[in-house]
Every structure is written in structure tokens, then in C-alpha cells.
A and B are shown apart, each in its own frame.
Chain A
Amino acid sequence: MIEFSHIYKSYDNRYILRDLNFKVNRGEFIFITGPSGAGKTTTLKLLIALEKPSHGAIKFMDRELGSLKPREIPFLRRRIGFVFQDFKLLPNRTVFQNVALGLQVSGIFGSVINKNVTDILKAVELYIKRDEYPCNLSGGEQQRVAIARALVLNPQVLLADEPTGNLDEDTSNIVIDTIKNFNKKGTTVLFATHDRGLLNQGRSRIIDITKT
């Protein structure tokens, strides 16, 4: 489903990634780990074409990302959900509106939005807070809203970049459980973290990126 072949990425002649190779199969839950600055976030950004590799090829669903035209990139991103460490919710929109945004940018409106957003908010147990603004939610709740927004379009892949980085242990577990639940339903998950404690949960594959 996803294939990184001999990926190099450099900034100002300094290599962040050097000869990165891995494959991800459909439905897998993969941890990407490594020390800070090792290139975990860069790896995820390469996958949603937010960055371009200096060398090498990335394939997603048998399509090489380097061959994508700029206008095709938004459509790629609609197939890949992204969750950030700092949530990246719009502060002037309610929980419902934040989640609905994912559908709206894809041109989905009306009753479909109501149904899908309601379903996903129920799945992350935040339906009761649908009319709240992000500033009135806890960190864990905000992260679950972000997960809901990332998954409302039923993407094939969910990329989570240190989603528990700002959360306490109990809240982190809730967030991870939420993500795992979606993984069980078939969503492929790439979970970047530098928290070694999380890696022992379950029997997930681990891609360890060492600092070059």
C-alpha cells in the first residue's frame, strides 16, 4: 500500500533521512519511532506530499507521489488522514464544524455531513460536546476531535504525528485506544512517537529511524 524506496531528504545540505526503505501493508498499525530530529515527522510529511524527497520514490496505492500534479495533491490528502501533536483545530469553529470541515473541503454538504459527523463524534465519544469550541475542551478531547476530523472521510491511512505528545498517560491511552479501534475497522495507521513506553502496547510493527 505504501512503499518508501531509497528516500533521502536534506535541508541546507544536511541529510535528515538517508536511504529510508520500508513497506506498509493495508490495515497495519505501525509505530515510527526515533529520537527527536530523526525525521519521523518528515517521513509523514513526505507521505502527504507536504515535502518532496531529495532522492528516491514513494508509492501510495501503486502511484508514485513524485508524478502527482499539484492539483492532484489535495485529492491524495483526502485519502490520508493526518493528526498533529498540537491538534490544529480551528478555534473559531465548534467541534461539529471542525469535523465537518473535512467533508466540506471535499464538496460534501447537507444531510451527509450531519450523518457522518454525528457518527464519528459518537465513535470518539464527543457527540455531547459537538457545540463546544476547542478552547473549552481538554487536551485529550481536542485530540479526539482532530482524530474525528481526520477520519470522517473514511481515509485509507491515518498518519498520527506524536498525537499523545501533549497529553498525560491516561489521556494518551484513550487516544491510542480510539486510534486502534479505527485500525481494527481497517484503517492503516502510521503512528510517529518518541515515547518508547507506547511501543510495548500490542504487537505492532515498529520502524525505528536513527538520527544520521
Chain B
Amino acid sequence: MILQRLEYALNYFKIAFSNIRSNMSENLFAFSIMSFSFFIMLFLLLFYINIYNYMSSFQETSSMIILFKKGSGNADLINYIKRIKGVKSLKYYEGKPALKSLEEKNPAIKKKLEDISAAAANAGVSPAARKNQGSMKASSNPGKGLASQGPSPNEGEKAGLLKSSPTTEAQISPVLIMPDMTGTNSGIDYNKFGYIKINFRKNFLNRLYLSDTYLKLKLKKGVDYVYYDKILRDKAIEFLFFVRVMGLIIFAFLFLLATFIYYSAIKLVILKKQDEIDILRLIGATNGYIRAPMFLESLFGGVLSFIAALIFLFAIFNAFMYYRFNDFLAYFHVKIIFLNYREIFTVFSLAVISSIVGTFLSSKKFFYNSEE
């Protein structure tokens, strides 16, 4: 009985391969379009996964940086921050180590701070004015040093370099150079430089919570700046949403396209083999007997075109890595990864489903029209 069923299945395979051979040109055409569709699907998925991973890591490392006002007492502020719900940890940096920690993030920061201070000293402006002048120039690069996302000088405010008490335009500046200027070339009083970095618990990382905390801290006495990458984050979330929606639309379109291709390919087979199918029906073949090889044929085409698309994408991915684009991206803390088995299986399932649906629709219509 089992042997008989095996022979039955083997017969289906034989007929399916015979169909493929006799419709080679149509099958090749369908194969190339389907491969292209699956390639686009896989590429989109790869793109989305990497963007998503990047954004996720960005969220995980989310933090706020608080710069003190000169001479303010920090102990109360630290205790206050510790009591805020959702704060995972905080680090207090002061004096030279504070600058060093920023230097680790942006090695060029010390040189830039010195240049700015020197420029201010040479201009002969008052300490307060020099502070403001230097700060304005410095607003771009220190920003980069703080959180790896660097706003340009004009974008400093947009990117979240927000001052707690913005009275005039000149005061919108980081106090990274916390200056009492000494009048020396170096121009930086390292001993008075300090900031607090707050890390939040993962489950508290949402727009509302962060905005609320930002406002609380901004209004706190002794706080000069609160650096919060809110706008950048919001943009990123919007972008991620856009990618997801567009990806789903393109996925749906490609799925329908693949289904339509199968539909057309199998319909061609049916039309071409109309006489043969009629004979089979006359000698007692069931619809299942006639349709099973068609399903196998499209399934075979779908799997093959999916494998071709996957191999092509993998080759491109490796070429990309080979030319060290990954190192380039790593500089920006972007790590490119390939699709995992689950993601590959998702697109594979779509390939299989579209082949089955396409075949079902084309053969159903035919068998319905020629129903006994």
C-alpha cells in the first residue's frame, strides 16, 4: 500500500518534470521574474532587519546627559535623579576624568575645545562673552562627542542640545568648556568641568516618559543643559515606521505579483495541455490526479527561484562585506547582519504559499469551467 502510494507520488513528479521540460521557455520567464520578486523581498527584509537592529541598539543605549551650572551643588541633584522611576544607573563625571570620558567618545574634542577657547582669548572678549562665543562654536562637535549623533552647528538645537533656561540666543550653548578662562592657551579649567550621564531601564524607554523626565530635569535647579536625543529618536521611529509600512506594501505587491506569475504559468500549461487533460479525464483521471503535478511544478519553480534569490542576495552581501563597507559602517556603530533562519523561512513560506495559491486559482478556474 505504501509502495503503491510512493509510486503514485513518483508518477506525479514524473509528470511535473515532463511539464517543466515541455514548457521550458515559459518556466524560465516565470522563474526569472519570481527570482527577482523574492530577491526584492529578501533585500527589503534585510534592510528592515538592519535598520531595526540599529534602532534597537540605539534605544538600549539611550541616555540623558546633564551639564551642571557652574558652582552648583551636585549632591541634591544626584539624589533627586536617583529617585526618578525608571533610572537604571547614573554616572557622575567631574574634572579631567569627565573630559577624558568625552574624549573616549570623540578623540578630537579636547583639541576643538582648546581651539575654541584660544580663539575666544585672542578675540579679547570678556570671560562671560567668551564663554558664550566659544560655546556657540562648540555646539556642534561636543554634541557629537556626547552621543555619537552629531548635529551641525545650526542643528544643535534641533538635535536636542537644549538649554534649561534659554534667555537669549547666546546662552544656548553647551558648557563643556565651563570656563573660568585662565588666560592661558589651553583656556580650559578642567577642574570645573562635570556632567551626569543617566541610563534608563529598557521598559521605560518611550517617548512620553523620556519627554517628561527631560522636562523635570531641565527645570531642576543647578542644571545647565539636558542633552536628550529626542528629536533624533522621534525621526528614527518615524523612519522605522515608514520603512515598515513601505516594506509591507512592497511585500504585499510582490506576493501578489508572484501569485499572478504562478497563475499565468500554470494557466499556460493547462491551455497547452488541454487535449491531454481532456483525454486523462475521459479515461477516469480525477481532478486531483491532473492538478497534483501542476502544484508540484509551481512548487518546484517557487523553491528554485527562492533559492536563486537567496544565493544572489548572499553573494551581494558578502561582496559588500568583502569591500569592508562594514568597517566603514562600524565607525558609526552600525553593524550589518544577514538574515537569520527564521526570516529566511518567512520569505520561503511566502514563496511556497504564492505558488500554491497561484496554481490553485488557475486550475480551479479551469476545472470549474470544464466541470462535468
Contact = CB atoms under 8 A, between A and B. Distances in A.
A54 interface: no
Task: Tell me the dominant secondary structure on chain B's binding face.
Answer: helix
B7 A105 contact: no
Interface in A84-113: 88, 90, 92, 101-102, 104-107, 109-110
Nearest to B289: A105
Interface size class on chain B is 20 to 34
A151 to B, nearest CB: 11
Interface of B: 3-4, 7-8, 11, 18, 22, 275-276, 278-287, 289, 371-372
B284 A49 contact: no
A70 B367 CA distance: 11
A101 B280 contact: yes
Contacts of A92: 18, 22
A71 B287 CA distance: 8
Contacts, number: 58
Sorted from nearest, which 8 A-B pairs have the closest CB atoms?
A109-B7, A78-B284, A105-B285, A77-B284, A74-B286, A74-B284, A73-B372, A88-B279
A90 B7 contact: no
Contact of A90 (B279, B284, B289, B372): B279
Nearest to A84: B282
B8 A107 contact: yes
Nearest to A87: B279
Given A71-B286, A74-B285, A106-B284, A50 B11 contact: no
Given A70-B371, A105-B289, A77 B283 contact: yes
Nearest to A150: B283
Between A102, A104, A153, the greatest number of chain B beta carbons within 10 A of the residue's beta carbon is seen for A104
A101 B282 contact: no
B371 A74 contact: no
B100 to A, nearest CB: 81
Contact of B282 (A71, A75, A77, A110): A77
A175 interface: no
A149 B283 contact: yes
Contact of A48 (B18, B282, B286): B282
Contacts of A82: 282-283
A74 to B, nearest CB: 5
A175 to B, nearest CB: 19
Nearest to B283: A102
B283 A75 contact: no
A73 B3 CA distance: 26
Contacts of A109: 4, 7-8, 11
